[in-house]
Structure 1
Amino acid sequence: MASLRTMILLDPDLDTDLSPQAKMPKRSGVASQPAALQGQRIPSRRTLARFLCEAQAAVKLRGHVSVLLTTDAAIRRLNRQFRGKNKATDVLSFPAAAPGPLKIAGDLAISIPTARRQAEERGHSLAIEIKVLMLHGLLHLAGYDHETDAGQMARREQSLRAALRLPHGLIERADLGGNARPAKGLRS
């Protein structure tokens, strides 16, 4: 069912060396990847699609959503082209112009290098950070805009993060000066 409503795409230019799809040499049946890097691997498409469906249902957003996992350079180009901002960002949302017969809600683009840096700064896994970014993007697709509203998106994001067991969201981080740390025990 997840494949009918969501699609997770990997930018071919994205360095996926830390992804679970990459072949890792094994020693005595144990992956040789350092423990510090294991929490910074790109989650599987299936894991992300499952979360995307869960979050989309929580947001009450109908329609197909595609998520592009991409590079800082690619997201910078998109940000410049569509928002007039010549800088990399963590997540961009592209709502569908109209629902139409295909029932498309829109698309998200997430910069994996930026998400990885933010995850390290916050002390949680890349999987958690991607989920926080997906939720934020879905709220934008649903019509919320924290730059122009009176706190509605922040309140909605906060309640959904609690329901989805996620740490501080992007709006909350900005309000806290970017220093928000996750609660103990959060897992992807």
Structure 2
Amino acid sequence: MINFNYETDFELENETLYEEWVSKIIDSEDKTEGEINYIFCDDEYLLQKNIEFLNHDTLTDIISFDYTMGNLISGDIFISVERVKDNAADFNVDFVEELKRVMAHGILHYCGYKDKTEEDSALMRSKENEKIVMF
């Protein structure tokens, strides 16, 4: 089950389309869909989560809490819409494209992909691109 929650004045254009897409991402990685909660928020909201749970006093575009057990993918994915907008401008890409990248990124972490090394980051970016095309 995929849920969308809004802690800011943003809303997805077509939740059903995004829900089906996230399900396809999970299926494409041979995983089973559990409960995925996307929480769209602003910088202030996500900064507080970053400080409270990760002890990081920095802005970020995404924080994910992974409750995956085996192949059952579950978790809470917090996304700062403000950060995504700024990143889209910085990378000269469309906001919706960058939003899809971040949404896929959270799911890919749950599927076991990392991004701490250059090699892992390159694989993660490749997987993000592969999943965006599935939209």
The amino acid of 1:75's aligned partner reads: L
TM-score (ref. length: structure 1): 0.60
Partner of 2:119: 151
User: What are structure 2's unaligned runs of at least 5 residues?
Assistant: none
Deviations 1:123-182 (A, max 9, x none): 3332211110011111212233222x672453154045135328xxxxxxxxxxxxxxxx
C-alpha distance after superposition, 1:10-37 (max 9, x if no partner):
11xx123xx5xxxxxxxxxxxxxxxxxx
> When the two structures are superposed, what TM-score results if normalisation uses the length of structure 2?
0.80
CA contact (8 A) 1:59 1:138 kept: no
Show the counterpart of 1:10. 6
Q: Which whole-Å CA distance do the structure 1 matches of 2:73 and 2:24 have between them?
A: 17
- Residue ranges of structure 1 left out of the alignment (5+ in a row): 20-41, 167-187
Aligned position for 1:58: 28
Partner of 1:132: 101
Greater helix percent: which structure? 2
Residue 43 and residue 121 in structure 1: after superposition, are their counterparts in 2 closer, same or farther (change >3 A)?
A: farther
Q: Does 1:77 align with 2:48?
A: yes
Q: How many equivalent pairs are there?
A: 133
Return the structure number with greater relative CO, CA threshold 8 A, min gap 6: 2
> 1:121 pairs with 63, 84, 90, which one?
90
Q: State, as a whole percentage, how many aligned pairs show the same letter.
A: 19
Q: Kindly tell me: are residues 96 and 84 of structure 1, through their superposed partners in 2, closer, same or farther at Cα, counting changes over 3 Å?
A: same
1:45 CA drift (Å): 2.2
* Aligned-partner residue type, residue 142 of structure 1: C
1:22-72 Cα shifts (integer Å, max 9, x gaps): xxxxxxxxxxxxxxxxxxxx4332232222222222333322211111111
User: For the residues of structure 1 that align with 2:23 and 2:47, how far apart are their CA atoms?
Assistant: 27
Equivalent-residue separation in structure 1 for 2:55 and 2:75 (angstroms) = 20
CA RMSD for the aligned pairs?
Answer: 2.6
Q: What's the CA shift string for 1:101-139, capped at 9, x where partnerless?
A: xx5611111000111111222333322111100111112
The structure with the larger Rg is 1
